[in-house]
Amino acid sequence: MSYEIIISPRAVKDLKKLPKNVVVRIISTLEQIQDDPAKSVYRLKDSPLYSVHVGEYRVILDIIHQKLMILVVRVGHRRNMYEKI
């Protein structure tokens, strides 16, 4: 069964700042992990959140398995993404 993808208002704001081709790649990656997110995500150290790598960009996620939901928390370049969490 597929997970529902929900993009937080903060992540929408982050996405608007990125180039269009990067946004397309991020959305495509999210659609690919929708069926089984456990295969493609990395758990963040000392955090309940996960990260998906899309080139030089990172998508920070909260996966709620009981509700089959993937919540996109933040999106940004890898050089400063982890400082924002």
Q: What is the pLDDT of residues 32-53, one digit of tens each?
A: 999 999 888 999 999 999 999 9
Residues 21, 23, 26, 32: is their CA dihedral positive or negative?
negative
Helix (H, G, I), strand (E, B) or coil at 23: helix
Compute the distance between CA of residue 16 and CA of residue 12 in angstroms, rounded to an integer: 6
C-beta separation of 44 from 62 below 8 A: no
Q: Domain residue spans in the chain?
A: 4-81
Q: What is the pTM of this model?
A: 0.90
> Which class is domain 4-81?
alpha beta
pLDDT over 80 at 84, yes or no: no
| Confidence class for position 64, pLDDT limits 50, 70, 90 | very high
